[in-house]
Structure 1
Amino acid sequence: MPKCIVAEDEKLLSAALQRELAKAWPELEIVAVCEDGGEALEAIVTHQPDVAFLDIRMPGLTGMEVAAAAADASPHTLVVFVTAYDQYAVDAFERGAIDYLLKPVVAERLAQAVTRLRGRLADAARHARRTGDLAKDLIGRFDDVPDEPLTWITAGAGKATRLILVEDVIYFRADNKYTVVATAEGDALLSRPIRELLRQLDPRTFRQIHRSTIVNLRQVASVERDDTGKGCLRLRGRPETLNVSQPFMAIFRAM
C-alpha cells in the first residue's frame, strides 16, 4: 500500500484534498497531515512516504524548501505541489516536469496526477531527484512574506514585561505552551506557541532549524556540520550554539 503525507495549513483545503484523494486513490494511505513546512519535512523523514502533497505557501519552510530537503532526506518520495499561483508559476513547474495541482483541487485534474504518480512509482528515485533539483532552483521565487510581519513583541522577564523589537531576537525556542525569546540582553517568555509565530515572522529573516527552534539568520555567525549530517549554529551576541536537525541542514545548503 503506497503512503503519502498531506501538508496544507488551511484546514478546509486540507480536508477537501484528503476526501478527493480517498476517491481517486483508495489504496493510498495518508500517514501524516501537516500544517507547516517544518512538520512536513519531519514527517517525510519519519515516514519515508511514496508521495508528498505540499502546499507552496506554508509557515516556516515553503513547499519548495521542503521538496529540496526531501530529495536528500527521502530520495524516493514523489512530490506534488498544491498551489494557488497564476500561470507564470505553473509554466515554471511544467518546464521542470513537476507535478502540481491548482487550488481549489478539481477531481478530474487530481485523477490525472494520480495516474501519473502511479506510473512513476516504479522509477520514483529518478523522478524525485529531478523534482528536488528544480525545487532548489526555484527557492526564493515564491517566498511567502506576511502582509504585516511582526515588528515587535511583548514578553515576560520575571515580574517585568519587555518590549522587544523582532529584529533584536536571536532565536525563538518552544517551551511547552510558551516560547522563549532569546536576545543579547537575556531571555523572556512569550505566551504564544511557536507555530503561531511561524505564520507571522518574515521568512526571509527567520528560519526554522528544528521542530522547536526558529533562528534569526542575521544573528548567525557560522554553520557547522558533523559527520552524522547534523549541524549547529554559532550565534552573534550569545555564547550557546543551536542544534540543526539533519533534514533542516539541506535548507542551509540550498540557500
Structure 2
Amino acid sequence: MLRIAICDDETDSRDSLRIQLEKIINSESEDIVYEFLSGERTVSFLKKHPGEIDLLFLDVEMSGINGMKTAGNIREFDKSLMIVFVTGYADYVFDGYQIGALDYLMKPVTIEKLLPVYKRVRELLLQNEGANFVLKNTEGLYRFPYEDILYFYSDRRLVNLVTAKGSYPFYGKLDVIEEKVGVSFVRIHQRYLVNEIKVRHIGNSSIIISGVGGETAELPVSRALKEAATEKLARAMLRG
C-alpha cells in the first residue's frame, strides 16, 4: 500500500495533481490519504503520525513557511519520508536535493512527468518492504522501520509498538508478531518482545532498554525465557 499526501496552498493545484495521480494509482491498494493547505499543518500532522505517509508532494512556493522550510522541518524528525517537490521554478532544484528530496516536478504536472516518479517510488517501497513493520489502528496506517522499534508489549488484546517517539497500540498477538519480525527481536517475557540492538544492560531478572524520549525502560525477563533470551541479547551486545 502506498500512502500519498499533497501539500499546496492553492486549491486548483492540489486538485490538478490529485486528478493526475488518480489516473495512475491502483485504487484497490493505494490512496491519496491527505491534502494539506500549508507547511505548518503538514509538519504538525507528520510529527503526530509517524510512518502514516509514504510519499509527500510538496509545493515550494507557499505562503507561511515555504516548501523548502517545510521539508527541512520534516527532516529534523523523519529522514525516510519520500518528498517530491512541485514547483514552477527550476531555481529551487539544487536546494531540494540538499535536504533529501526524491525528485521534483515542474508545474503544470502531467502524467508524462508524474509516471517516472511514481514508478521509482513503487520500486523503492518494494525494496524496503521487508525492512518495515506496518500496523493499523483507529488513528490510521503506520509504517515503522524495524531499526526504529524499541520493543513490543502486549496488554490483553492490544499490542503496543514502542519507539523513541511514543507508543502505538493495535490489535494483535505477540506470538504472531514474533514470527513476523524475525531473529533480531528477542522474546524476554510472555508480554515483551525487544529489539536486541536497543538493549543497554542485562540484569538477573530484567533488562534496561532504550525508551521513549531518549529515556530508558526496565523490562522484566521471565524465568522460563531467561537462559535463551540473555544468551541472544549478550551476543548482540558483544557484536556492538
User: Which range, TM-score by smaller chain?
Assistant: 0.3 to 0.5
TM-score by length of 1: 0.44
Largest Rg, 1 or 2: 2
